[in-house]
Structure 1
Amino acid sequence: MESVSAYDAELFRSICEIVPNLSVRYLTSRDHCSESRLEWVKGIFEQVEVYDLISQDTYAVSLARGRYDVLIVGVNDAGRIAKFGRSNGVALARRMTFALMDQSDPARRARVLGAGFDDVFDLVRTSRDEAIIRIAAVCRRYRLAAAQEDLYRARSELIKVLTNHQKVSPQEVQILMVLYERIGNPVSYAKLTFAASRGNDIISRDNLKVQISNLRKKLESSLSIRSISGFGYMLVRTSINEQQ
């Protein structure tokens, strides 16, 4: 646990360091605080593109003019920010989005967060250091989510290869992944039944045998599942002679 925590802390520190280098697309209204808000944004980020906020304009949030990491909407009208967030939800689904307001209150911030924004900053109350820490926390969350998606895609592709692109059940996937991670080593009945179970619905030993039997029929020819009497199963690579 300590090593995981240390890694997580180091990851967070590294993200804090790169926050100023994130590319920002800043949308703003023209009011008495517009210059102060822009100064606040430029005090944190080095790469800032500034656009006027136009409610029905989707061009400013698209990638047509290039890639950007963060979208910030600088307006003091919570209703207008919320409407913008909802109307552009699809385009901003995987992009960090923040709102910058002045003299905001909890109800107005909650309204903006409810429209899908990741965080709301107050021009007066939020210091540069606090903003960087909060942005880094959101950035870390996005990175972890992206890593999970990459892992899921890689796992899905691996399962397709191992089973000759045949359809496999969620339970079979869990069993095969546990066996594959320990290929060449026995895996106990208990570990395999636990992997294939969902919540409190623990599968039986007989059910596990059925899942293993199904997997054996689907595995590509260079792999096989061997029974380890009284213990469990083992995934092994078969020799050319065994395949014949």
Structure 2
Amino acid sequence: MSEDYRFSSQSPPAPKKGGREKSSANDPHGRPETSSFLSSEQASEDLEKVSHPINLEDAPGLAVYFGDRRSDLAVEWLLRLIPDCPLGKVSESYIAPPSLQTAILIFVCSNDPTRMIRLFRLYKEVLKRKLLIAVMNRSTPKDRARLLTVGFDDVFDGRTLPLEATVRVNARLRRLAEMNIIKLGPSTCDMQNFKHYLLSDRENVILAKLCSRMDKPVSQNILLNEIHEHYGHSNRRSLHVMLSHIRKKLHPDYAIIYSRHDDSYMLKRICNDD
């Protein structure tokens, strides 16, 4: 990695007496600039102490990020730890890369815990059998508590030493493997032939229902009841939005057709043969 990389090259300013520390103008969450991040030289020296680096052959990994500057800093820190870690961008509409399905070790890089929590909740069924680690540019105790409470397994930031991060990841992987938690189980619904991109949990529920009645109409009320059974109340407008997202993620050989006559949807194979 380039020797020019720095999380921060300056010491944090001393807080003013008799008042609260002002929020950073660059951070919408008001986190104070109080972190003494590692320099390139410090990180390199600590990496030399790592005797057992993280092996992505044993545990396929993926780092997802949101494409903003703060995410980029977290990604740079992670790539110093695992230079060959694959990267995948999460879109503004929270469409995650398909490799999220097969990876075992997932790093979510961002400095916005709210976005990371929303990503986790959208893909909870996919992520619950993974080792999920948040990587932040900087974090507060409140940030780390929120992420760990919702379901993340660990939180790293720019102050985390590479040696410590490596040992923590390897220890968690070893324990999860011993408990048979990180083995990927069979899919609850054989939908892999239909999906071209990864679906959220609610989208998976809808597609599973359509798959179970392939080439047959499924009324909107049945789909709404299916969502209600798993996640609580939903409405027609949100159902239409989810179906629109599913259409964009379907394999090109399949389509979801709406029938105004009976207010229903049908999953149908499109014949592309010449």
Structure with max Cα Rg: 1
- In the superposition, the TM-score normalised over structure 2's length comes to 0.43
Structure with higher strand content? 1
- The structure carrying a bigger helix percent of its residues is 1
TM-score by length of 1: 0.48
